[in-house]
Every structure is written in C-alpha cells, then in structure tokens.
C-alpha cells in the first residue's frame, strides 16, 4: 500500500514570499491532517479535514495560512506571506476516519515524510 | 488545554540494555496515548498505543504503561538494538471523533543505542 505522499520535500524562500505544499493521502482515507513540526519539538496540529470539510482549524494562523481539500482527496497548505518563524517541517497525515468506538487501526494516523521549509 | 511533558530529551544506552521514556499529561479527560518513532528525514510512525481502560500493553520488545491517577505513561524498550535509535514522541488525546481525537505531542526523546 502506498503511503502518504508530500511535495516538495524541501523549500527555501525569503520572508514575505508565498509557498504551497501538497499532500496526497493514502487511498480511501477520509481524514487528513496538517501538522507543523518546529525543530526540537513535537508535531502541532494546524488543521484537520474530514473528507472535504474542516473539522478543526483552531491552531491555524488564518491571517497567513490557508488549506483546502476540494475533492476530499489531495490537499494543499499555503503560507502567504511567510515569516522567519514559519521555518519548520510541515507534515501531512491521514487516517481511515476519526470516530468513537472504532478500532485503533481505523483512527491510526499515517504520516508522510514532510516538507522542510526554510524561511530566510 | 492539554499539555504533554516528556523526559528525558536525550537518552543514550548500550545495545541490549533497556530504555524508558516518561510522559505526563494535564487533561484528565485524555484517554488515548500513542507513541511514535521518527527516523531522520521521515514522518512519525506509530509503534504502540494504549487506551485509558488498560494499564499496560506489550508488543514484543516494546511496552507501554499508564497510571491514570498520576496522569503519566511510559514507554519501555527492552534488549535495545542500534536500529531503535530515533526520536520518540508520546502523545495524548481525548479519543476519537472530530477534534476530540486531535493529538497533543510531547517534545520528543532522542534515543541513541550504542553497539
């Protein structure tokens, strides 16, 4: 089974520029997550989608970050304009779903390799 | 909101020794506690998880224990091997279903296993 795909793997931009990341989840996975992982820290959830609807975006800095999952499959995360503190690895994860009472395997999150963003 | 503290931040052991990583959480409503292993240049991978109705769970050389009263849980790796070297993250959530399933991660432990 193919895993979660992300591109690009690396991106270097200058502050105030824009950048976009792409994620293709595991086939059939309804739930998609974007995380930000700053060096030396654990991943922090930015946004969660269930199919093409947003479940939780409370941690997303909406003045500069946006994300969409128009057809309920692929997703893009955009930063505009970027700041120095946005330098991090952006991880995408997917799961079959996110539902109470289901087995662990149903809710298990599978992570992609991430995109390492450097803002100069 | 939930806060997860993880210790130690780095851990070095000899091959064959045991390694223990400890986490504490603040939200008494949390009931799901997974552990992830992250190798260099890769995303985190789930290695074991435990729910609050269980005190201990074991999978070969890996075990997790949970003390709900004290709000802490631990990862135990026995007979460590060089390929166990990685960064390990603990996480906690209130369970599944919408945003309740959102994971709060600790800051990670870098485990080095010396041959």
Q: Which residues of A touch B91 (CB under 8 A)?
A: 42
From A101's Cα to the closest Cα of chain B, the distance in A is 8
pLDDT of B36 reads 96
> Is A99 an 8 Å CB contact of chain B?
yes
List pLDDT tens digits, range A30-40. Answer: 999 999 999 99
pLDDT of A59 reads 92
pLDDT of B80 reads 98
CB A46 within 8 A of CB B99: no
CA–CA gap between residue A11 and residue A19 (Å, rounded): 8
**Closest residue in B to A57 (Cα–Cα):** B99
Percent of chain B whose predicted confidence (pLDDT) is above 70: 95
Spell out the long-range contacts of A55-61 with Cβ–Cβ below 8 A and sequence spacing 24 or more.
A55/A31, A55/A98, A55/B98, A55/B99, A56/B98, A56/B99, A56/B102, A58/B99
CA–CA gap between residue B23 and residue B74 (Å, rounded): 6
CB B37 within 8 A of CB B110: no
**Closest residue in A to B110 (Cα–Cα):** A40
CA–CA gap between residue B71 and residue B73 (Å, rounded): 7
**Closest residue in A to B101 (Cα–Cα):** A98
Closest of B77, B75, B53, B52 to residue B64, by C-alpha: B75
CB A48 within 8 A of CB A59: no
List pLDDT tens digits, range B15-36. Answer: 999 999 999 999 998 988 999 9
Task: Specify the DSSP element, H or E, that contains B114.
Answer: strand B109-114
For chain B, positions 54-113, list CB contacts with chain A under 8 A.
Answer: 89, 91, 95-103, 105-108
List pLDDT tens digits, range B38-51. Answer: 999 899 999 999 98
- Give the DSSP per-residue string, A36-88: EE-TTS--EEEEEEETTEEEE-TTS-TTTEEEE-TTSS-EEEEESS--GGG-E
CB contact under 8 A, B41 and A113: yes
Query: How far is residue A23 CA from its own chain's centroid?
Result: 7
């Amino acid at each position: 089974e193919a895993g979660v795909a992300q591109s690009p793997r690396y991106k270097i931009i200058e502050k105030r520029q824009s950048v976009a990341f792409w994620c293709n989840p595991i086939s059939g996975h309804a739930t998609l997550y974007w995380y930000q992982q700053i060096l030396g820290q654990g991943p922090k959830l930015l946004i969660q989608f269930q199919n093409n609807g947003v479940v939780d975006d409370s941690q997303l800095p909406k003045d500069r970050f946006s994300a969409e999952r128009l057809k309920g499959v692929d997703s893009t995360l955009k930063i505009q304009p970027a700041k120095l503190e946005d330098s991090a690895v952006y991880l995408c994860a997917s799961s079959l779903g996110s539902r109470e009472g289901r087995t662990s395997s149903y809710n298990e999150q599978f992570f992609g390799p991430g995109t390492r963003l450097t803002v100069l | 909101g939930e806060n997860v503290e993880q210790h130690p931040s780095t851990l070095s052991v000899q091959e064959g020794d045991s390694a223990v990583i400890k986490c504490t959480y603040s939200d008494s409503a949390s009931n799901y506690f997974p552990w992830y292993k992250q190798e260099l240049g890769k995303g985190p991978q789930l290695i074991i998880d435990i729910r609050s109705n269980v005190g201990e769970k074991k999978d070969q050389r890996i075990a997790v224990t949970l003390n709900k009263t004290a709000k802490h849980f631990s990862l135990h790796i026995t007979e460590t091997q060089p390929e166990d070297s990685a960064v390990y993250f603990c996480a906690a959530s209130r369970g599944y279903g919408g945003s309740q399933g959102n994971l709060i991660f600790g800051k990670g432990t870098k485990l080095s296993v010396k041959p």
